[in-house]
């Protein structure tokens, strides 16, 4: 949430209640609506505001048009001691991935390590939600997903065959905050480009290029160019590998099969995801590992800084700080609140309760 935008403060509980009521109205069973609402509110609470309540109108539309199944039969289609493939029956990604993460945690408890993949799933919000789930069980989580719109051509190419396919990893710690990496394989996520356009700002060089390979700085011309992968050909390679691991391996969409869910609200996306869970107990005493992580975190915090740098951040620390800060109220952009109000009116539901406006 950019602080210079107009916003309203919303209590996490109120946000969750509003999301739940819209999802109930969209046909989800009570328990499922609660699960998705909790995860969506959690996304906003940690500052992943591109993947939280902002997506609700879009989800609602897909559920209404039949593009997403409100009452899926989520089931295991194949499994072994340390793996499973879950068919999401075109249900909401949050439900499918919660099912997958839970199963992977159970399997890892016995096998030491487990991989659970999904197909016929959907957009599931920020990757870090799922990478973090194993942490409270003294387990490491690693999450891969195929993004829900292709914005990245192969290196040297012009056809957008790849998405920003994210990687997220959650690592348990002791007294320090857990280390949680959540990154797209492009320099900037597409949401950041849209935000620049909204604020009338230019993009920095390195975010996008045009069809001649020249830097593209005007975010309103984003449709004329492509996102750049991190490290050039390396990021392209990572996006491709993540797509193969999360999508192709599970029979989910990849490459030309990926449905742009921002444009198309009807065609099932057949989204693929994967979670790898590693049980620390299989490797030794979890306390020893967590102590070593704490020490590394402190070594990094205390290490010498570049001139002008106030603080060295660990991956996940900013989200951790936001969860504390936003406990008093989550800032939601005023235009988003307006859109949610309109949705509530259309569905004859109570509006989102805001704490303040600013």
Tell whether residue 149 is a contact of its own copies (CB under 8 A). Answer: no
Site for its own copies in 81-100 (CB under 8 A): 81-83, 85
**Binding to its own copies by residue 275, rule CB under 8 A?**
no
* 328 binds its own copies per the rule CB under 8 A: no
Q: What are 86's strand-pairing partners?
A: 76, 118
Between 153 and 333, CB nearer to its own copies: 153
Candidates 238, 330, 336, 352: give the one binding its own copies (CB under 8 A): 238
Instruction: Report the site for its own copies in 39-78 (rule: CB under 8 A).
Output: 78
Q: Which of 171, 193, 258, 354 binds its own copies (CB under 8 A)?
A: 171
Task: Round to whole Å and give the CA distance between 167 and 182.
Answer: 6
* Neighbour count for residue 176 (Cβ, 10 Å): 18
Which CB, 27 or 191, lies closer to its own copies?
191
DSSP string, 64-121: HHTSS-SS---EEEEEETTEEEEE-TT--HHHHHHHHHHHHHHHHHHHSEEEEEEEEE
* C-alpha–C-alpha distance, residues 145 and 173, integer Å: 25
Q: How far apart are CA 41 and CA 39, in angstroms?
A: 5
Least distance in Å: CB of 202 to its own copies? Answer: 18
Q: 3-state DSSP call for residue 228?
A: coil
**From 30, 136, 159, 325, residue interacting with its own copies (rule: CB under 8 A):** 159
Q: In whole angstroms, how close is the CB of 171 to its own copies at the nearest point?
A: 5
Among residues 79, 89, 138, 218, the one that binds its own copies under rule CB under 8 A: 79
* Region near its own copies per CB under 8 A, out of 29-37, 43-51, 95-103, 232-240: 232-240
User: Rounded distance, CA 38 to CA 328, Å?
Assistant: 17
Rounded to the nearest whole angstrom, what is the least distance from the CB of residue 283 to its own copies in the complex?
Answer: 6
> Min. distance of Cβ 251 from its own copies in angstroms?
7
Q: Does position 157 bind its own copies by CB under 8 A?
A: yes
4 makes contact with its own copies (CB under 8 A): no
- Burial of residue 21 (number of CB atoms within 10 Å: 0-12, 13-18, 19+): middle
Residue 235: both structure tokens together: 């990021």
């Amino acid at each position: 949430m950019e602080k210079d935008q107009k916003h309203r403060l919303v209590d996490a509980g109120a946000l969750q209640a509003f999301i739940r009521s819209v999802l109930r109205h969209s046909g989800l069973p009570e328990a499922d609506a609660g699960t998705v609402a909790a995860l969506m509110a959690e996304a906003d609470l940690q500052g992943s505001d591109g993947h939280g309540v902002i997506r609700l109108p879009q989800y609602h539309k897909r559920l209404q048009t039949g593009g997403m199944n409100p009452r899926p039969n989520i089931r295991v289609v194949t499994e072994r001691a340390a793996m499973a493939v879950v068919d999401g029956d075109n249900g909401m990604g949050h439900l499918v991935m919660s099912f997958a993460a839970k199963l992977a945690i159970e399997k890892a408890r016995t096998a030491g390590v487990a991989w659970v993949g999904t197909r016929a799933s959907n957009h599931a919000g920020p990757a870090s939600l799922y990478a973090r789930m194993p942490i409270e069980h003294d387990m490491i989580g690693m999450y891969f997903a195929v993004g829900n719109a292709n914005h990245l051509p192969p290196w040297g190419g012009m056809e957008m065959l790849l998405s920003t396919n994210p990687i997220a990893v959650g690592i348990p710690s002791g007294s320090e905050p857990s280390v949680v990496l959540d990154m797209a394989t492009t320099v900037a996520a597409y949401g950041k480009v849209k935000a620049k356009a909204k604020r009338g700002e230019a993009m920095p060089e390195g975010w996008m290029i045009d069809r001649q390979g020249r830097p593209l700085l005007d975010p309103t011309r984003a449709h004329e160019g492509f996102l750049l992968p991190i490290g050039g050909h390396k990021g392209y390679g990572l996006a491709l590998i993540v797509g193969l691991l999360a999508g192709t391996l599970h029979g989910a969409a990849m490459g030309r099969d990926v449905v742009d869910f921002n444009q198309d609200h009807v065609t099932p996306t057949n989204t693929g995801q994967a979670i790898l869970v590693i049980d620390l107990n299989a490797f030794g005493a979890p306390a020893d590992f967590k102590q070593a992580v704490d020490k590394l975190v402190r070594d990094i915090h205390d290490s010498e800084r570049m001139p002008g740098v106030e603080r060295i951040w660990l991956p996940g620390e900013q989200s951790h700080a936001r969860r504390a800060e936003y406990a008093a109220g989550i800032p939601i952009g005023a235009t988003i609140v307006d859109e949610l109000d309109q949705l509530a009116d259309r569905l004859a539901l109570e509006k989102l309760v805001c704490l303040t406006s600013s």
